[in-house]
Chain A
Amino acid sequence: MKTLFDKIWDTHIVSKLESGSDVLYIDRHFIHEVTSPQAFAGLRQRGLPIFRKEKIIATADHNVPTLNQHLPISEKLSRHQVDTLIENCKLNDIELYGLGHPYQGIVHVIGPELGITRPGMTIVCGDSHTSTHGAFGCVAFGIGTSQIEQVMATQCLILNKPKTMRINIEGILQKDISAKDIILFIASTLTTSGGTGYFIEYAGSTVRALSMEARMTICNMSIEMGARGGIIAPDETTFKYIKGKPFAPKGAMYEQALDYWKTLYSEKDASFDKEYHFNAADIEPMLTYGTNPGMGIKISQTIPHVQEVNNPLELEKSLAYMGLKSGIPLVGLPINYVFIGSCTNSRIEDLRIVAEYVKDKQKAPNVQAMIVPGSKQVERQAKAEGLDKILEAAGFELREPGCSACLGMNEDKIPPGEYCLSTSNRNYEGRQGPGARTILGSPLTAAASAIAGKIVDIRTINS
């Protein structure tokens, strides 16, 4: 019997190669300014047109400033890259939600919030966090620029079908534990390569109880375990989220779509190549201490010793970079930077959680707290709810949408040697700027730590 992933993958096979690879049809293709220019150039060189321009949606996010977006981009190379996207979209008649557009934002935030991302689809983007869209019960994964060109030319990719993995999480989460803690917990168990070669389905009562925003946070970080994608079976929560979104099917079409979407689940006796089981009650606020997202600990734990890990060399090197030591806890570590944003945690729900906590509080004087909404829609919603006022009163700087300090392509960088408690997805060396030391955590842990000026366990504060 078929898994959810099999159902979608198999209905998108156009042809099979003798080698066993599949030619897979792609329903939606998101593009952005950083990984698309060479694909457009490649097509031009071959003299090929865009095959299905209506299936491509473009936005500018990776390389845009998060202040004064109404002004021309001051950094020359960034401006050129964004201008190249504008020109390529214009020449090829592709829908662009660029700077100044009411729909602009991080590509993995805008697809879902516009109702472009829907159950049963195959979705690709030249960005590894395309796995985010899997929260809607679609097969979504990141691709390289050569593959962007292939999809532009033929709407298809030649792929080997990944193996399937199911991660079951059962039970009720402790108070103040969020989706970010769940996925950092799973990553700390599976490690940064534990999902490589697999497509992960997240299932179980804990997942069923999560909002769409939370499900996106989980699927988003599937790639941090090496998995090409993550997927969650669509249910009433999904259908309710999609209904009424700008590009969602309407009227009779919606009803028809609903009938189909309801068939998208793994059959009872479907078999997976690998399966894991976790208990929600075991999950605490999670933090990373090292230089890959699998190097995480529960907030009550201490940084492991070399004898306790599989890769002692990597641990030593990571800790030297991070300026940390084995055997110490992270709680109490002074931090000067907090970044709340990225395709992992920049949605309205994240901003609400942060605003609710920091209301009538003041950030510590040593902390610079940057909060970057995932999209113009999120920004507008936050303002409509008065969250901007609350955040600003607490000393948090609400910026304009973009990928920002998650990858430090624009001006939003963390200085060398400084700790940043970040709600983003990667803590690699130099990820947030050369020499920057990233500690990944949930929006609530980030907010509470910004107020305290050091890392705190939210449970001891809220108890």
Chain B
Amino acid sequence: MEKFNTIQSSAVPLPIENMDTDQIIPARFLKATTREGFGDHLFRDWRYKADGSPNQDFILNNSVYKGEILVAGKNFGCGSSREHAVWAIYDYGFKVVISSFFADIFKSNALNNGLLPLVVSDDFLHLIFTEIEKDAATKILVDLKQQTVEIAHQQTVFEIDSYKKMCLLNGYDDIDYLLTLKDKIEQFEKEQVLF
């Protein structure tokens, strides 16, 4: 996993609530057996028309909006547990998704892949959308160490699990840690009675 520290970037706004992982990546693109290349199919049915031509109304096809940060509506990533949704977002080039609420499995998948699911208040999310609307080039500064996010000289603090923060900052993943617990795990197995 890549280390995450600070990111300063313009952002792509996607103010749609309850964006499910079927929209992020439709099931018919889950047939690969590797983690690479899913970015091409990110938001596939929103980005492209049925005939395969780009849908110019969709934000990712608007060259005014770009950057490493995706700003999304409430309850982002609900539905299927497919980690392909996170791989697609990361492969496309995003390093952070900001929303006021994430679905559980998506959030955990994101953290396991070095994609920061950054939770802000509804008000701050609204502020971000407003600032981007005013000026698409507005930069957002995300500082994981300080747990702050800043846009247009307004800053807020975000919460993150301290263990997950340490993992992201150092590029560690859960297996690295779990392997150090092998003795404890084997001891647990010895004592467990499983019916």
Chain A interfacial positions (CB closer than 8 Å to B) = 14-15, 17-21, 23, 25, 27, 34-35, 37-38, 41, 46, 48, 62-63, 77-78, 80-81, 84, 118-121, 126-128, 142-147, 149-150, 153-158, 160, 162, 192-193, 196-197, 223, 226, 228, 249, 253, 256-257, 260-261, 292, 311, 313-314, 317, 407-409, 416, 426, 428-431, 434-435
Contacts and interface: CB of A to CB of B under 8 A. Distances in A.
Contacts, number: 188
Contacts of B74: 193
Interface of B: 16-18, 20, 22-23, 26-28, 30-35, 45, 50, 74-75, 78-84, 86, 101, 103-105, 108-109, 112-113, 161-164, 173-175, 177-179, 181-182, 184-185, 188-189, 192-195
B20 A158 contact: no
A87 B195 CA distance: 30
Given A196-B104, A256-B195, A428-B22, 9 more contacts: A14-B184, A19-B163, A80-B33, A128-B81, A146-B109, A226-B78, A226-B103, A426-B22, A429-B23
A436 to B, nearest CB: 11
A154 B35 contact: no
A226 B104 contact: yes
A209 B86 CA distance: 41
Contacts of A21: 161, 163
Contact of A261 (B175, B189, B195): B195
Contact of B79 (A37, A249, A428): A428
Nearest to B165: A19
A228 B22 contact: no
Given A18-B162, A314-B17, A426 B79 contact: yes
A429 B195 contact: no
Nearest to A28: B194
Contacts of B83: 35, 38, 126, 144-146
Contact of A154 (B45, B164, B179): B179
A63 B30 CA distance: 9
Contacts of B182: 154
User: Which of B174, B184, B185 has the most C-beta atoms of chain A within 10 angstroms of its own C-beta?
Assistant: B174
Contacts of B174: 146-147, 150, 157-158
Contacts of B109: 144-147
Contacts of A80: 31, 33
A24 B175 CA distance: 13
Contacts of B178: 23, 150, 153-154, 156, 158
B22 A429 contact: yes
Given A142-B105, A154-B175, A430-B26, A128 B80 contact: yes
Contact of B101 (A19, A25, A193, A314): A193
Contacts of A426: 20, 22, 79-80
A260 B194 CA distance: 10
In the A-B complex, the 7 residue pairs with the smallest Cβ-Cβ separation, listed nearest first, are A257-B195, A146-B112, A19-B163, A144-B109, A37-B33, A144-B83, A77-B31
Given A18-B162, A38-B34, A434-B26, A154 B104 contact: no
Contacts of A409: 27-28, 30-31
Contacts of A317: 16
B181 A14 contact: yes
B162 to A, nearest CB: 4
Contact of A149 (B23, B162, B175): B175
Contacts of B195: 118-120, 249, 253, 256-257, 260-261
A196 B20 CA distance: 13
Contacts of A14: 181, 184-185, 188
A156 B103 contact: no
B194 A27 contact: yes
Contacts of A253: 195
Contacts of A46: 175
B18 A292 contact: yes
Given A226-B104, A249-B195, A429-B45, A17 B78 contact: no
A286 B174 CA distance: 42
Contacts of B101: 193, 196
15 contacts: A34-B82, A142-B81, A143-B105, A143-B108, A192-B78, A193-B78, A226-B75, A292-B20, A292-B78, A311-B17, A317-B16, A407-B80, A409-B27, A430-B45, A435-B50
Given A77-B32, A314-B17, A18 B78 contact: no
B161 A81 contact: no
Contacts of B75: 192-193, 196, 226
A312 B133 CA distance: 21
Given A126-B81, A226-B78, A158 B32 contact: no
A261 B195 CA distance: 9
A430 B104 contact: no
B76 to A, nearest CB: 10
A150 B18 CA distance: 28
A158 B163 contact: yes
A193 B18 contact: yes
A426 B174 CA distance: 31
Nearest to A148: B83
Given A158-B163, A193-B103, A150 B175 contact: yes
Nearest to A21: B163
